[in-house]
Chains A and B, each alone.
Chain A
Amino acid sequence: MGIISSGFHGKRRAGNPALPPGQYETESFPVLTAGPAPDVAAEDWEFFITTETGERHSWSWDAFMSLPQVDFRTDIHCVTSWSKLDTSWRGVSLDTLFEDVETTSDFAMAHSYGGYTTNIPLSDLLDGQSWVAWEFDGEPLERAHGGPARLLVPHLYFWKSAKWVNGLELMPDDVPGFWESNGYHLHGDPWREERYS
Protein backbone atom coordinates (compact mmCIF):
# COMPACT_ATOMS: atom_id res chain seq x y z
CA MET A 1 0.00 0.00 0.00
CA GLY A 2 1.17 3.50 -0.79
CA ILE A 3 1.34 6.51 1.46
CA ILE A 4 -1.97 7.06 3.18
CA SER A 5 -3.54 10.48 2.99
CA SER A 6 -5.66 10.66 6.11
CA GLY A 7 -8.77 12.62 5.31
CA PHE A 8 -8.83 11.46 1.70
CA HIS A 9 -11.82 9.22 1.12
CA GLY A 10 -12.45 9.36 -2.60
CA LYS A 11 -15.63 8.69 -4.45
CA ARG A 12 -15.10 5.01 -5.02
CA ARG A 13 -15.56 5.29 -8.73
CA ALA A 14 -12.74 2.78 -9.07
CA GLY A 15 -14.07 -0.30 -7.31
CA ASN A 16 -15.64 -1.86 -10.42
CA PRO A 17 -13.84 -5.07 -11.53
CA ALA A 18 -14.34 -3.95 -15.14
CA LEU A 19 -11.86 -1.15 -14.45
CA PRO A 20 -8.14 -1.78 -15.01
CA PRO A 21 -5.77 -0.66 -12.25
CA GLY A 22 -5.53 3.09 -11.75
CA GLN A 23 -8.64 3.81 -13.83
CA TYR A 24 -11.89 5.46 -12.80
CA GLU A 25 -15.23 5.41 -14.54
CA THR A 26 -16.62 8.41 -16.35
CA GLU A 27 -19.94 8.92 -18.06
CA SER A 28 -18.64 11.66 -20.34
CA PHE A 29 -16.49 11.10 -23.39
CA PRO A 30 -13.39 13.25 -23.02
CA VAL A 31 -11.35 14.22 -26.06
CA LEU A 32 -7.59 14.11 -26.19
CA THR A 33 -5.68 15.26 -29.22
CA ALA A 34 -2.21 16.52 -29.94
CA GLY A 35 -3.32 19.15 -32.42
CA PRO A 36 -6.27 20.44 -34.44
CA ALA A 37 -8.86 17.91 -35.58
CA PRO A 38 -8.46 17.10 -39.29
CA ASP A 39 -11.55 17.79 -41.39
CA VAL A 40 -12.03 14.80 -43.69
CA ALA A 41 -15.16 14.40 -45.79
CA ALA A 42 -16.41 10.84 -46.20
CA GLU A 43 -16.15 11.11 -49.99
CA ASP A 44 -12.46 11.97 -49.68
CA TRP A 45 -11.76 9.31 -47.07
CA GLU A 46 -10.08 6.04 -47.81
CA PHE A 47 -8.64 3.22 -45.79
CA PHE A 48 -5.52 1.41 -46.92
CA ILE A 49 -3.41 -1.54 -45.85
CA THR A 50 0.11 -1.79 -47.26
CA THR A 51 2.30 -4.85 -46.82
CA GLU A 52 6.06 -5.29 -46.61
CA THR A 53 6.14 -6.20 -50.32
CA GLY A 54 4.55 -2.89 -51.28
CA GLU A 55 1.17 -4.43 -52.05
CA ARG A 56 -1.60 -1.93 -51.38
CA HIS A 57 -5.22 -2.66 -50.55
CA SER A 58 -7.61 0.24 -50.30
CA TRP A 59 -11.25 1.01 -49.79
CA SER A 60 -13.16 4.15 -50.63
CA TRP A 61 -15.93 5.18 -48.22
CA ASP A 62 -18.53 3.45 -50.40
CA ALA A 63 -16.46 0.27 -50.74
CA PHE A 64 -15.85 0.29 -46.99
CA MET A 65 -19.55 0.73 -46.26
CA SER A 66 -20.43 -2.21 -48.50
CA LEU A 67 -18.33 -4.54 -46.33
CA PRO A 68 -20.06 -6.51 -43.56
CA GLN A 69 -20.85 -4.10 -40.71
CA VAL A 70 -20.95 -5.21 -37.11
CA ASP A 71 -22.42 -3.69 -33.96
CA PHE A 72 -20.44 -4.20 -30.81
CA ARG A 73 -20.18 -2.98 -27.25
CA THR A 74 -16.91 -2.51 -25.43
CA ASP A 75 -15.17 -0.73 -22.57
CA ILE A 76 -12.58 1.92 -23.43
CA HIS A 77 -9.66 2.99 -21.27
CA CYS A 78 -7.71 6.24 -21.66
CA VAL A 79 -4.15 6.50 -20.36
CA THR A 80 -5.18 9.68 -18.54
CA SER A 81 -7.09 7.39 -16.13
CA TRP A 82 -10.68 7.60 -17.30
CA SER A 83 -12.57 4.56 -18.51
CA LYS A 84 -15.93 4.51 -20.21
CA LEU A 85 -17.77 1.23 -19.84
CA ASP A 86 -20.11 -0.54 -22.24
CA THR A 87 -19.85 1.88 -25.15
CA SER A 88 -21.73 1.12 -28.35
CA TRP A 89 -20.12 1.14 -31.80
CA ARG A 90 -20.66 0.11 -35.42
CA GLY A 91 -17.93 -0.61 -37.92
CA VAL A 92 -15.93 -3.15 -39.87
CA SER A 93 -13.82 -5.82 -38.19
CA LEU A 94 -10.12 -5.74 -39.03
CA ASP A 95 -10.49 -9.47 -39.78
CA THR A 96 -12.75 -8.52 -42.70
CA LEU A 97 -10.29 -5.93 -43.97
CA PHE A 98 -7.41 -8.42 -43.71
CA GLU A 99 -9.20 -11.23 -45.60
CA ASP A 100 -7.21 -10.78 -48.81
CA VAL A 101 -4.04 -9.43 -47.23
CA GLU A 102 -1.01 -11.70 -47.25
CA THR A 103 1.78 -10.66 -44.96
CA THR A 104 4.65 -12.00 -42.89
CA SER A 105 4.78 -8.79 -40.81
CA ASP A 106 4.09 -8.89 -37.10
CA PHE A 107 3.43 -5.18 -36.58
CA ALA A 108 1.35 -2.37 -38.01
CA MET A 109 1.68 1.40 -37.98
CA ALA A 110 -1.70 3.07 -38.04
CA HIS A 111 -1.66 6.33 -40.00
CA SER A 112 -4.24 9.06 -39.54
CA TYR A 113 -5.25 12.08 -41.53
CA GLY A 114 -3.33 14.94 -39.95
CA GLY A 115 -0.19 12.83 -39.55
CA TYR A 116 -0.85 10.97 -36.31
CA THR A 117 0.67 7.50 -36.05
CA THR A 118 0.49 4.67 -33.54
CA ASN A 119 2.12 1.23 -33.60
CA ILE A 120 0.22 -1.96 -32.81
CA PRO A 121 1.22 -5.63 -33.02
CA LEU A 122 -0.85 -7.55 -35.58
CA SER A 123 -1.64 -10.01 -32.80
CA ASP A 124 -3.59 -7.20 -31.11
CA LEU A 125 -5.50 -6.30 -34.25
CA LEU A 126 -6.84 -9.62 -35.55
CA ASP A 127 -9.17 -12.31 -34.20
CA GLY A 128 -12.07 -10.06 -33.32
CA GLN A 129 -10.03 -7.57 -31.32
CA SER A 130 -10.26 -4.42 -33.40
CA TRP A 131 -12.42 -2.49 -35.82
CA VAL A 132 -12.59 0.56 -38.03
CA ALA A 133 -15.59 2.25 -36.43
CA TRP A 134 -17.73 4.99 -37.90
CA GLU A 135 -20.74 5.07 -35.60
CA PHE A 136 -20.82 5.76 -31.86
CA ASP A 137 -23.96 5.39 -29.77
CA GLY A 138 -26.14 5.15 -32.89
CA GLU A 139 -24.81 8.37 -34.43
CA PRO A 140 -22.14 9.00 -37.07
CA LEU A 141 -18.82 9.46 -35.30
CA GLU A 142 -18.23 13.16 -34.55
CA ARG A 143 -15.14 14.77 -36.01
CA ALA A 144 -13.81 15.49 -32.51
CA HIS A 145 -13.90 11.76 -31.78
CA GLY A 146 -12.24 10.78 -35.03
CA GLY A 147 -14.98 10.92 -37.64
CA PRO A 148 -15.56 9.91 -40.28
CA ALA A 149 -13.86 6.76 -38.96
CA ARG A 150 -11.41 5.71 -36.29
CA LEU A 151 -9.51 2.62 -35.40
CA LEU A 152 -10.82 0.89 -32.31
CA VAL A 153 -8.50 -1.39 -30.36
CA PRO A 154 -10.34 -1.25 -27.04
CA HIS A 155 -8.21 -3.73 -25.10
CA LEU A 156 -5.28 -1.30 -25.37
CA TYR A 157 -5.14 2.28 -24.03
CA PHE A 158 -7.29 4.50 -26.19
CA TRP A 159 -4.43 6.40 -27.87
CA LYS A 160 -3.95 3.20 -29.91
CA SER A 161 -7.46 3.68 -31.32
CA ALA A 162 -6.30 6.19 -33.91
CA LYS A 163 -8.82 8.89 -34.73
CA TRP A 164 -9.31 9.95 -38.39
CA VAL A 165 -7.65 6.69 -39.37
CA ASN A 166 -6.39 6.48 -42.94
CA GLY A 167 -4.68 3.12 -43.04
CA LEU A 168 -2.29 0.51 -41.72
CA GLU A 169 1.29 0.08 -42.83
CA LEU A 170 2.45 -3.43 -42.05
CA MET A 171 6.02 -3.73 -40.88
CA PRO A 172 8.36 -6.49 -39.71
CA ASP A 173 9.63 -4.61 -36.64
CA ASP A 174 7.90 -2.67 -33.90
CA VAL A 175 8.57 1.02 -34.50
CA PRO A 176 7.22 3.67 -32.08
CA GLY A 177 4.42 5.91 -33.32
CA PHE A 178 3.59 9.43 -32.19
CA TRP A 179 2.84 9.13 -28.48
CA GLU A 180 5.16 6.12 -28.23
CA SER A 181 7.99 8.48 -29.26
CA ASN A 182 6.81 11.06 -26.74
CA GLY A 183 7.04 9.22 -23.45
CA TYR A 184 4.26 6.67 -23.74
CA HIS A 185 4.49 2.89 -23.68
CA LEU A 186 5.23 0.94 -26.86
CA HIS A 187 2.37 -1.52 -26.25
CA GLY A 188 -0.18 0.09 -23.89
CA ASP A 189 -2.04 -2.73 -22.13
CA PRO A 190 -4.26 -1.10 -19.45
CA TRP A 191 -4.46 -4.28 -17.37
CA ARG A 192 -0.67 -4.18 -17.02
CA GLU A 193 -0.69 -0.38 -16.64
CA GLU A 194 1.63 0.03 -19.61
CA ARG A 195 1.23 3.81 -19.55
CA TYR A 196 4.63 5.37 -19.90
CA SER A 197 7.92 4.27 -21.45
Chain B
Amino acid sequence: MSSLWRVAEVVSGTPETETSRTIGLKVAGLNGSLPGQHIDIRLTADDGYTAVRSYSVASAGNHDVLEITVDELANGEVSPYLVRDLEVGDRLEIRGPVGGWFIWRPTDLNPVQLIAGGSGIVPLMAMIRAHKASDNPSQFRLLYSVKSPEAVFYREELANLHEESRRFTLDYVYTRNAPQGWPIEPRRLTAETLLAKILAVDAMPGIYICGQTVFVETVADWLVQAGYPAASIRTERFGGTGGTR
Protein backbone atom coordinates (compact mmCIF):
# COMPACT_ATOMS: atom_id res chain seq x y z
CA MET B 1 0.00 0.00 0.00
CA SER B 2 1.24 3.41 -0.91
CA SER B 3 0.11 5.04 2.33
CA LEU B 4 2.48 3.12 4.59
CA TRP B 5 5.87 4.39 5.67
CA ARG B 6 8.74 2.26 4.47
CA VAL B 7 12.41 2.33 5.25
CA ALA B 8 14.75 3.53 2.54
CA GLU B 9 18.51 3.33 2.54
CA VAL B 10 20.55 6.06 0.93
CA VAL B 11 22.70 4.37 -1.72
CA SER B 12 24.02 7.40 -3.58
CA GLY B 13 24.33 11.15 -3.35
CA THR B 14 25.52 13.05 -6.41
CA PRO B 15 25.70 16.83 -6.60
CA GLU B 16 23.58 18.10 -9.46
CA THR B 17 24.36 21.81 -9.04
CA GLU B 18 25.86 23.91 -6.23
CA THR B 19 22.59 23.80 -4.34
CA SER B 20 21.13 20.46 -5.25
CA ARG B 21 21.87 16.79 -5.34
CA THR B 22 20.43 13.57 -6.61
CA ILE B 23 19.85 10.98 -3.91
CA GLY B 24 19.42 7.29 -4.61
CA LEU B 25 17.08 5.47 -2.23
CA LYS B 26 16.88 1.72 -2.00
CA VAL B 27 13.55 0.43 -0.77
CA ALA B 28 13.02 -3.28 -0.21
CA GLY B 29 10.14 -4.59 -2.30
CA LEU B 30 9.82 -1.41 -4.34
CA ASN B 31 8.84 -1.96 -7.95
CA GLY B 32 9.75 1.37 -9.51
CA SER B 33 7.39 4.25 -10.03
CA LEU B 34 5.27 5.79 -12.73
CA PRO B 35 6.99 8.69 -14.52
CA GLY B 36 5.87 11.88 -12.74
CA GLN B 37 5.01 10.39 -9.37
CA HIS B 38 6.34 11.68 -6.07
CA ILE B 39 7.32 10.25 -2.73
CA ASP B 40 6.97 11.69 0.74
CA ILE B 41 10.07 11.73 2.90
CA ARG B 42 9.85 11.75 6.68
CA LEU B 43 12.77 12.86 8.82
CA THR B 44 12.77 12.29 12.57
CA ALA B 45 14.94 14.27 14.99
CA ASP B 46 16.40 12.58 18.05
CA ASP B 47 13.58 13.88 20.25
CA GLY B 48 10.87 12.47 17.99
CA TYR B 49 10.08 15.66 16.08
CA THR B 50 9.23 14.81 12.49
CA ALA B 51 8.97 16.72 9.22
CA VAL B 52 7.48 15.42 5.99
CA ARG B 53 8.02 16.76 2.47
CA SER B 54 7.13 15.58 -1.01
CA TYR B 55 9.77 15.09 -3.70
CA SER B 56 9.25 14.08 -7.30
CA VAL B 57 10.98 10.95 -8.49
CA ALA B 58 13.58 11.62 -11.19
CA SER B 59 14.37 8.05 -12.15
CA ALA B 60 12.39 5.63 -14.26
CA GLY B 61 12.21 1.86 -14.33
CA ASN B 62 11.10 -1.07 -12.25
CA HIS B 63 13.89 -1.13 -9.73
CA ASP B 64 14.07 -1.18 -5.97
CA VAL B 65 16.17 1.98 -6.15
CA LEU B 66 14.66 5.31 -7.04
CA GLU B 67 16.25 8.72 -7.32
CA ILE B 68 15.06 12.12 -6.26
CA THR B 69 16.78 15.42 -6.94
CA VAL B 70 16.47 17.89 -4.10
CA ASP B 71 17.13 21.60 -4.50
CA GLU B 72 18.07 23.40 -1.32
CA LEU B 73 15.51 26.05 -0.46
CA ALA B 74 16.79 29.12 1.33
CA ASN B 75 15.34 28.84 4.80
CA GLY B 76 14.09 25.32 4.07
CA GLU B 77 13.52 22.88 6.89
CA VAL B 78 14.16 19.56 5.17
CA SER B 79 15.97 20.31 1.90
CA PRO B 80 19.22 21.67 3.43
CA TYR B 81 19.57 18.47 5.44
CA LEU B 82 18.95 16.29 2.39
CA VAL B 83 21.37 18.27 0.21
CA ARG B 84 24.15 18.88 2.77
CA ASP B 85 24.02 16.36 5.60
CA LEU B 86 22.45 13.10 4.51
CA GLU B 87 25.08 10.42 3.85
CA VAL B 88 25.25 7.22 1.90
CA GLY B 89 24.28 4.41 4.26
CA ASP B 90 21.81 6.57 6.21
CA ARG B 91 18.25 5.42 6.45
CA LEU B 92 15.06 7.43 6.35
CA GLU B 93 11.37 6.81 5.83
CA ILE B 94 9.42 7.20 2.62
CA ARG B 95 5.77 6.92 1.64
CA GLY B 96 4.71 6.22 -1.93
CA PRO B 97 5.39 6.55 -4.81
CA VAL B 98 2.02 8.25 -5.21
CA GLY B 99 0.09 10.21 -7.81
CA GLY B 100 -1.99 9.11 -10.77
CA TRP B 101 -2.53 12.37 -12.64
CA PHE B 102 0.75 14.12 -13.38
CA ILE B 103 2.19 11.01 -14.96
CA TRP B 104 3.14 9.88 -18.43
CA ARG B 105 2.46 6.32 -19.52
CA PRO B 106 4.74 4.67 -22.10
CA THR B 107 1.60 3.34 -23.81
CA ASP B 108 0.54 6.91 -24.60
CA LEU B 109 1.36 7.56 -28.27
CA ASN B 110 0.58 11.29 -28.36
CA PRO B 111 3.43 13.74 -28.82
CA VAL B 112 4.48 15.31 -25.54
CA GLN B 113 5.55 18.85 -24.70
CA LEU B 114 7.31 19.21 -21.36
CA ILE B 115 7.79 22.65 -19.83
CA ALA B 116 10.06 22.97 -16.81
CA GLY B 117 10.72 25.96 -14.61
CA GLY B 118 13.91 25.46 -12.59
CA SER B 119 13.78 22.36 -10.38
CA GLY B 120 10.41 21.56 -11.95
CA ILE B 121 12.51 19.51 -14.38
CA VAL B 122 12.63 16.59 -11.93
CA PRO B 123 9.33 14.76 -12.61
CA LEU B 124 9.68 15.61 -16.31
CA MET B 125 13.10 13.91 -16.31
CA ALA B 126 11.43 10.72 -15.10
CA MET B 127 9.14 10.95 -18.15
CA ILE B 128 12.08 11.62 -20.49
CA ARG B 129 13.97 8.63 -19.11
CA ALA B 130 10.94 6.36 -19.36
CA HIS B 131 10.36 7.55 -22.91
CA LYS B 132 13.98 6.86 -23.81
CA ALA B 133 13.83 3.37 -22.32
CA SER B 134 10.64 2.55 -24.19
CA ASP B 135 10.13 2.00 -27.90
CA ASN B 136 7.37 4.58 -27.88
CA PRO B 137 7.83 6.47 -31.18
CA SER B 138 6.16 9.71 -30.06
CA GLN B 139 7.97 13.05 -30.11
CA PHE B 140 9.11 14.48 -26.78
CA ARG B 141 10.05 18.12 -26.62
CA LEU B 142 11.36 19.86 -23.53
CA LEU B 143 11.40 23.58 -22.86
CA TYR B 144 13.59 24.18 -19.83
CA SER B 145 13.43 27.65 -18.29
CA VAL B 146 16.31 28.07 -15.88
CA LYS B 147 18.09 31.03 -14.33
CA SER B 148 21.61 30.15 -15.50
CA PRO B 149 23.63 27.35 -17.14
CA GLU B 150 25.02 26.46 -13.72
CA ALA B 151 21.53 25.76 -12.40
CA VAL B 152 20.67 23.15 -15.03
CA PHE B 153 19.97 19.65 -13.73
CA TYR B 154 20.97 16.57 -15.78
CA ARG B 155 22.85 18.77 -18.23
CA GLU B 156 24.98 16.13 -19.94
CA GLU B 157 22.30 13.51 -20.08
CA LEU B 158 19.90 15.97 -21.70
CA ALA B 159 22.54 17.17 -24.15
CA ASN B 160 23.42 13.62 -25.16
CA LEU B 161 19.81 12.70 -25.61
CA HIS B 162 19.20 15.80 -27.69
CA GLU B 163 22.18 14.80 -29.87
CA GLU B 164 21.36 11.14 -30.23
CA SER B 165 17.63 10.76 -30.14
CA ARG B 166 15.33 11.59 -33.00
CA ARG B 167 12.45 11.46 -30.58
CA PHE B 168 13.70 14.16 -28.21
CA THR B 169 14.24 17.89 -28.66
CA LEU B 170 15.58 20.25 -26.03
CA ASP B 171 15.30 24.04 -25.77
CA TYR B 172 16.64 26.23 -23.00
CA VAL B 173 15.41 29.62 -21.90
CA TYR B 174 17.86 31.40 -19.58
CA THR B 175 16.25 33.93 -17.30
CA ARG B 176 19.24 35.53 -15.53
CA ASN B 177 22.57 34.47 -17.07
CA ALA B 178 23.01 32.85 -20.45
CA PRO B 179 26.07 30.92 -21.68
CA GLN B 180 28.68 32.88 -23.65
CA GLY B 181 27.52 33.55 -27.16
CA TRP B 182 23.90 32.64 -26.47
CA PRO B 183 21.80 34.40 -29.11
CA ILE B 184 19.16 35.77 -26.78
CA GLU B 185 19.52 38.11 -23.81
CA PRO B 186 18.58 36.35 -20.61
CA ARG B 187 15.14 37.36 -19.48
CA ARG B 188 11.96 35.98 -18.06
CA LEU B 189 10.05 33.63 -20.31
CA THR B 190 7.56 35.44 -22.52
CA ALA B 191 4.50 34.09 -24.31
CA GLU B 192 6.21 34.73 -27.64
CA THR B 193 9.33 32.73 -26.74
CA LEU B 194 7.24 29.98 -25.24
CA LEU B 195 5.04 29.55 -28.29
CA ALA B 196 8.06 29.62 -30.63
CA LYS B 197 9.75 26.75 -28.82
CA ILE B 198 7.02 24.20 -28.25
CA LEU B 199 5.06 21.71 -30.34
CA ALA B 200 2.29 23.43 -32.31
CA VAL B 201 -1.38 23.26 -31.39
CA ASP B 202 -1.98 21.18 -34.54
CA ALA B 203 0.33 18.47 -33.25
CA MET B 204 -2.12 18.04 -30.35
CA PRO B 205 0.57 17.38 -27.76
CA GLY B 206 -0.05 16.27 -24.24
CA ILE B 207 1.50 19.04 -22.14
CA TYR B 208 3.14 18.77 -18.73
CA ILE B 209 4.20 21.90 -16.84
CA CYS B 210 6.13 21.85 -13.59
CA GLY B 211 7.74 24.70 -11.69
CA GLN B 212 6.99 27.37 -9.15
CA THR B 213 3.38 28.46 -8.83
CA VAL B 214 3.58 31.69 -10.77
CA PHE B 215 5.54 30.05 -13.58
CA VAL B 216 3.03 27.24 -13.88
CA GLU B 217 -0.04 29.47 -13.74
CA THR B 218 1.39 31.96 -16.23
CA VAL B 219 2.52 29.36 -18.75
CA ALA B 220 -0.77 27.46 -18.51
CA ASP B 221 -2.73 30.65 -19.16
CA TRP B 222 -0.60 31.51 -22.20
CA LEU B 223 -1.14 28.05 -23.63
CA VAL B 224 -4.91 28.22 -23.19
CA GLN B 225 -4.97 31.67 -24.79
CA ALA B 226 -2.95 30.28 -27.71
CA GLY B 227 -5.54 27.60 -28.31
CA TYR B 228 -4.10 24.56 -26.57
CA PRO B 229 -7.07 22.72 -25.02
CA ALA B 230 -7.13 23.04 -21.23
CA ALA B 231 -7.81 19.33 -21.02
CA SER B 232 -4.44 18.59 -22.68
CA ILE B 233 -2.46 20.50 -20.02
CA ARG B 234 -1.33 18.91 -16.79
CA THR B 235 0.34 21.01 -14.15
CA GLU B 236 2.34 20.43 -11.03
CA ARG B 237 3.67 23.01 -8.66
CA PHE B 238 7.12 22.41 -7.32
CA GLY B 239 9.60 23.65 -4.78
CA GLY B 240 8.26 23.98 -1.26
CA THR B 241 5.60 26.37 -0.08
CA GLY B 242 7.65 29.52 -0.41
CA GLY B 243 5.58 30.69 -3.36
CA THR B 244 4.58 34.25 -3.88
CA ARG B 245 0.91 33.90 -3.03
Bin chain A's interface residue count. 35 or more
Is residue B162 within 8 Å, beta carbon to beta carbon, of the partner chain? no
Of the candidates A8, A28, A35, A196, the one whose C-beta lies within 8 Å of that of B241 is: A28
Of the candidates B44, B92, B217, B242, the one whose C-beta lies within 8 Å of that of A37 is: B217
Tally of B interface residues using CB under 8 Å: 51
Of the candidates A34, A37, A179, the one whose C-beta lies within 8 Å of that of B234 is: A34
Decide: A196 near B2, CB < 8 A? Known: A5-B43, A31-B245, A36-B235. yes
Decide: A4 near B101, CB < 8 A? Known: A14-B50, A30-B243, A38-B230. no
Least CB distance from A115 to B in Å reads 7
The reply to whether A33 and B235 form a contact with Cβ atoms under 8 Å apart is yes
CB-based nearest B residue for A142: B245
The reply to whether B220 and A35 form a contact with Cβ atoms under 8 Å apart is yes
Chain B residue contacts of A1, Cβ below 8 A: 44, 48
Number of residue pairs across A and B with beta carbons under 8 Å?
A: 132
CB-based nearest B residue for A179: B101
The reply to whether B237 and A5 form a contact with Cβ atoms under 8 Å apart is no
The A25-68 residues at the B interface (CB cut-off 8 A) are 26, 28-39
Of the candidates A36, A144, A196, the one whose C-beta lies within 8 Å of that of B223 is: A36
The reply to whether A35 and B230 form a contact with Cβ atoms under 8 Å apart is yes
Give 1 or 0 for each of A159-197: 1 = CB within 8 Å of chain B CB. 000000000000000000011011101000000000111
Excluding A183-B101, A197-B2, 18 further A-B contacts by CB distance (< 8 Å) are A2-B50, A3-B7, A5-B86, A10-B43, A10-B50, A14-B51, A22-B52, A24-B77, A28-B242, A29-B243, A31-B217, A31-B237, A31-B245, A36-B220, A81-B52, A196-B95, A196-B96, A196-B98
